[in-house]
């Protein structure tokens, strides 16, 4: 399981069971229904929506509730049992544990673990797992099933009393207790050789082989893929017998190698030059030219051999094309890719929105759950604490932005999966721009190391403060708008003032970020005076504080009445254009909107109206 399990509790009766599991399951967190549960890691209001959010983010869900609730929530979003997280229903006393979506992705194993912790019963309904303790379409790590589409009919035959013939060696298969016969019509084969299997023959490939590759910078991915595919085919190997692709760390960001890894559906791992140089005595084709260029006498052969260990052997010597090389080595037992060299390294730049679960995207939640390390301002880490339990936390104080980003990049450069957390959207007045700025600088000019520059980066968008404020009060951003930060810490006031005049004369709705601070009290007042030269005093102004949090307040004033004292560092200020309107509803609540001009086009041809809508 990549993500941490979530214990879903809908009433106090199930809380003791959840507490026992939270203490026993690494990284587990309790999510409770607000109004019924007093204390939990996370409280939610909309049960079905919350279940779908957790499921989309990849969290195993352990619902201490009626199974029907989980079924109704997830039925519309189910698609592929081989990729979906486990979902279990537990009775409130923990005595009954039911995997609802089958035994894939470790669901049956998790059910057995939970039943052992709670002294309950795991209601395993998967036919093969129930009868023999294994599911033929879910082999253990290190084995790949070549023809999963045939697993169901084969298991049906075995459950009907058919005998099997086991070809090759596998403790997993031999321990199941299948009825075995030399003349059986059903066969279960364990082989490294290419074999497609059939409806009466399941083929499992042990991942004992590693592909080592090298290439010129910018090599066409198809050239490398064709080279490797050709060598696998010529050697009679099954692609399923490949555990990973390896190379030197200088090639961690090489597009061709990433494409090859994706093509073979295996991880890409890298070694430093010193590790590869240690393999020189075992190389079949050492090269002084390669040593002069990268510091080792062989990349493809060295990487393959380093991955399979001292007891492994080279089975395909270095083969090359104009721009690529490859070699293949075999280990005596399946290779665990996580123990081979290191990963490329990945940084997820995550905008968590205002912080509420409902306002955080499933992508952001999933990336948080997958990360090994999380980096951020301590307040932001506290907001998402339930999703980062069991991970390494790196808390930085407010104001240490460059230190925070540099640290995150360098940790990712060590091969880790790192999450850098920002509030709102990380690309809007936040960490995103600094990430790319440091990647753009060379190390001598304050940039990051070569290893850090070779990482992969995912930028996960979040709800920014201007979106949150607009949504809470109506639609003030319904027409052209801009955002201006009033902080002169990094931008000279003269430049800010120039932008204010441009926004005012252009009649933009304006979102002010960083409107005031303890030492900055004059900028907002100056901005107000500039805007008043171009729009009336009655222009509506929205003040949103702590948006999306329990302390949230949103109120409406006017540009003429706006004062600095009613704004603090946590306030987002939206100033309407000359066309924006504030309206008081019958229930006494106001809304603000900026019309797009539909009223003026009421008599326009339909095709023009359609164009305006688009």
pLDDT digits (tens, 9 = 90+) for 561-575: 999 989 988 899 999
pLDDT attached to residue 612: 39
Per-residue model confidence as pLDDT tens digits over 187-209 = 999 999 999 899 999 999 999 99
Distance between CA 43 and CA 356 in Å, rounded? 10
Start-end of H helices in 144-284: 151-159, 171-174, 221-234, 255-264, 273-277
The shares of helix, strand and coil residues in the chain, as percent rounded to the nearest 5, are: 35, 25, 40
Which homologous superfamily does the CATH classification assign to the domain defined by 209-342? CobE/GbiG C-terminal domain (3.30.420.180)
What SS3 class is residue 361? Answer: coil
Per-residue model confidence as pLDDT tens digits over 518-560 = 777 889 999 999 999 999 999 999 999 888 777 889 999 999 9
Say if residue 257 is exposed, middle or buried (CB neighbours under 10 Å; 0-12, 13-18, 19+): buried
Q: Which of 424, 241, 454 is nearest to 333 (CA)?
A: 241
pTM reported for the whole predicted model: 0.79
Output the CA torsion sign for 209, 215, 217, 222.
negative
Q: Which of 143, 156, 237 is nearest to 199 (CA)?
A: 156
What SS3 class is residue 584? Answer: strand
Question: Residue with structure tokens 């089958």?
Answer: 102
pLDDT attached to residue 598: 57
39 vs 409, residue with greater confidence: 409
pLDDT attached to residue 503: 97
Just give the CATH number of 6-125. 3.40.50.11220
Q: Is the pLDDT of residue 258 over 80?
A: yes
Least confident of 225-234, 399-408, 492-501: 399-408
DSSP secondary structure of 203-234: EEEE--EEEEEEE-TT--HHHHHHHHHHHHHH
484 vs 602, residue with greater confidence: 484
Question: Average pLDDT in the 163-176 region?
Answer: 89
Distance between CA 228 and CA 244 in Å, rounded? 12
Structure confidence at residue 1 as a pLDDT band (50, 70, 90)? very low
**Residue 602 structure tokens:** 């009421």
Question: Residue with structure tokens 């309904």?
Answer: 125
Q: Please calculate the CA angle 151-156-162 and round it to the nearest 5 degrees.
A: 110
Q: Is the pLDDT of residue 601 over 70?
A: no
Per-residue model confidence as pLDDT tens digits over 259-275 = 999 999 999 999 999 99
Output the CA torsion sign for 9, 352, 470, 609.
negative
Per-residue model confidence as pLDDT tens digits over 313-327 = 999 999 999 999 999
Which part of the chain has CATH 3.30.950.10? Answer: 466-598
Structure confidence at residue 600 as a pLDDT band (50, 70, 90)? low
Q: Is the pLDDT of residue 517 over 50?
A: yes
Q: Which of 311, 416, 323, 302 is nearest to 370 (CA)?
A: 416
Per-residue model confidence as pLDDT tens digits over 124-150 = 766 555 455 677 888 889 999 999 999
Considering the segment(s) 350-462 as one domain, its CATH architecture is: 3-Layer(aba) Sandwich (3.40)
Which part of the chain has CATH 3.40.50.11220? Answer: 6-125
Which part of the chain has CATH 3.40.1010.10? Answer: 350-462
Q: Which of 151, 179, 176, 152 is nearest to 165 (CA)?
A: 179
The helix (run of H) or strand (run of E) holding residue 268 is: strand 268-271
pLDDT attached to residue 53: 84
pLDDT attached to residue 104: 67
By DSSP bridging, strand 164-167 and strand 209-215 are unpaired
Which part of the chain has CATH 3.30.420.180? Answer: 209-342
Domain 466-598: state its class: alpha beta
pLDDT attached to residue 138: 82
Structure confidence at residue 608 as a pLDDT band (50, 70, 90)? very low
Question: Average pLDDT in the 76-98 region?
Answer: 84
The helix (run of H) or strand (run of E) holding residue 68 is: helix 67-74
Distance of CA 124 to the CA centre of its chain: 30
Q: Where are the beta strands (DSSP E) in 45-86?
A: 61-64
pLDDT attached to residue 613: 39
How does the average pLDDT of the chain come out, rounded?
A: 89
- Radius of gyration of the chain, Cα coordinates, nearest whole angstrom: 30
Per-residue model confidence as pLDDT tens digits over 422-440 = 989 999 988 999 999 999 9
pLDDT attached to residue 128: 52
């Amino acid at each position: 399981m990549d993500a941490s399990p979530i214990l879903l509790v809908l009433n106090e009766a199930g809380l003791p069971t959840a507490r026992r599991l939270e203490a026993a399951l690494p990284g587990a967190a309790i999510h409770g229904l607000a109004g019924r549960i007093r204390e939990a890691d996370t409280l939610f209001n909309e049960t079905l929506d919350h279940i779908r959010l957790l499921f989309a983010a990849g969290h195993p869900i352990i619902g201490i509730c009626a199974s029907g609730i989980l079924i109704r929530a997830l039925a519309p979003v189910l698609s592929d049992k081989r990729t979906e997280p486990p979902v279990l229903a537990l009775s409130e006393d923990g005595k009954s544990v039911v995997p609802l979506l089958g035994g894939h992705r470790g669901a049956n194993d998790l059910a057995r673990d939970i039943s052992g912790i709670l002294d309950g019963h795991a209601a395993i309904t998967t036919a093969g797992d129930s009868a023999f303790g294994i599911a033929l379409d879910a082999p253990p790590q290190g084995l790949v099933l070549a023809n999963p589409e045939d697993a169901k009919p084969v298991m049906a035959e075995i459950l009907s009393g058919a005998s099997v013939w086991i070809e090759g060696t596998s403790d997993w298969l031999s321990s199941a207790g299948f009825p075995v016969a030399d003349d059986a019509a059903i066969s279960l084969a364990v082989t490294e050789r290419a074999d497609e299997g059939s409806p009466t023959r399941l083929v499992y490939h042990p991942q004992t082989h590693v592909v080592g590759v090298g290439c010129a910078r910018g090599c066409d991915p198809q050239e490398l893929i064709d080279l490797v595919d050709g060598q696998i085919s010529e050697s009679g190997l099954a692609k399923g017998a490949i555990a990973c692709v390896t190379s030197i760390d200088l090639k961690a960001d090489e597009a061709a190698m990433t494409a090859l890894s994706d093509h073979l559906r295996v991880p890409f791992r890298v070694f430093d030059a010193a590790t590869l140089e240690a393999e020189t005595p075992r190389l079949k084709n050492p090269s002084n030219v390669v040593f002069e260029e990268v510091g080792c006498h062989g990349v493809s052969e060295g990487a393959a051999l380093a991955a399979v260990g001292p007891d492994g052997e080279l089975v395909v010597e270095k083969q090359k094309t104009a721009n690529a090389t490859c070699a293949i080595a075999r280990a005596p037992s399946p290779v665990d890719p996580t123990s081979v060299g290191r990963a490329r390294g990945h940084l997820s730049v995550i905008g968590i929105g205002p912080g509420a679960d409902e306002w955080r995207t499933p992508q952001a939640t999933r990336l948080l759950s997958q990360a090994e390390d999380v980096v951020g301002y301590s307040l932001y880490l506290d907001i998402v604490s339930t999703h980062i339990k069991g991970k390494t936390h790196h808390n930085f104080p407010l104001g240490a932005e460059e230190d925070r980003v540099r640290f995150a990049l360098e940790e990712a450069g060590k091969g880790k999966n790192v999450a850098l957390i920002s509030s709102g959207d990380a690309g809007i007045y936040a960490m995103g721009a600094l990430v790319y700025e440091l990647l753009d600088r060379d190390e001598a000019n304050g940039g990051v190391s070569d290893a850090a520059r070779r990482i992969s980066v995912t930028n996960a968008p979040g709800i920014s403060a201007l979106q949150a404020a607009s949504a809470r009060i109506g639609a003030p951003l319904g027409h052209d708008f801009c955002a201006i930060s009033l902080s002169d810490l990094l931008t000279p006031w003269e430049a800010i003032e120039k932008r204010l005049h441009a926004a005012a004369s252009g009649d933009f709705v304006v979102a002010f970020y960083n409107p005031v601070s303890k030492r900055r009290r004059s900028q907002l007042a100056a901005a107000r005076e500039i805007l008043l030269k171009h729009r009336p005093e009655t222009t509506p102004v929205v003040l949103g504080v702590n948006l999306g949090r329990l302390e949230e307040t949103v109120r409406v004033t006017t540009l003429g009445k706006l004062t600095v004292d009613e704004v603090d560092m946590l306030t987002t200020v939206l100033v309407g254009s000359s066309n924006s309107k504030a309206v008081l509803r019958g229930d006494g609540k106001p809304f603000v909107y900026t019309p797009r001009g539909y009223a003026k086009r009421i008599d326009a041809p339909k095709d023009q109206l359609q164009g305006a809508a688009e």
